[in-house]
Amino acid sequence: MRHVGGRVEVIAGSMFSGKTEELIRRLRRAKIARQKIQVFKPRLDTRYGHQKLASHDGAVFKATPVENAEELLDLAEEGTTVVGIDEAQFFDDGITSVIQILADQGIRVIVAGLDTNFRGDPFGPIPVLMAQAEQVDKLYAICMVCGNAASRTQRLIDGQPANYDDPIVIVGASELYEARCRDHHQVPRD
């Protein structure tokens, strides 16, 4: 598949739904097609290494950590045809403009991120990106309580659901979070 024109693709869903795995799959296909690829992630995401994307199942892809959306624009190289961005919910709202600029320059931008936070509320710039994208894929995990499709991320503190007023951003994986369906997602309010 040859690259033709700019576009935005968003891969959204809860934790453990396979967002990064799908992003890596699309990037690998672009690499096979000999397209010039650049991959970025927020600097604060150091769970699996500083300069790589990693899915929970172990798939990896080299990535450049950036502090903010503007830095991503500064690092975009001439001739790049595909830009991958992981964990986009952690970027400032300026990421929406940066992504539109890249797409308007003829770049295929593939974005992965959580569409809701642990409270079940829209998370960062992802809902806006979903509205602006040419393609949106919402992925689902498996509820850790009942085994049904899970669209929510349950944060746990000492094995118990986090309170609504707890901080939104705490970077972690299975020790802090579980995938849950609507029926089993709990966010107690004090």
Residues with catalytic roles: 87
Alpha helices by DSSP H, listed for the chain, are: 19-32, 69-75, 95-104, 126-132
The pair of three-digit structure tokens given for residue 100, joined into one six-digit string: 């539109």
Walk across the sheet containing 177-180 and list its strands.
Answer: 160-161, 152-157, 177-180
Strand residue runs (E) in 32-125? 37-42, 52-54, 60-62, 64-66, 82-85, 108-114
Question: Would you state the torsion angle of the CA atoms of residues 25, 185, 46, 80, taken in this order, to the nearest 10 degrees?
Answer: 30
At a CB cut-off of 8 Å and minimum separation 6, what does 158 contact? none
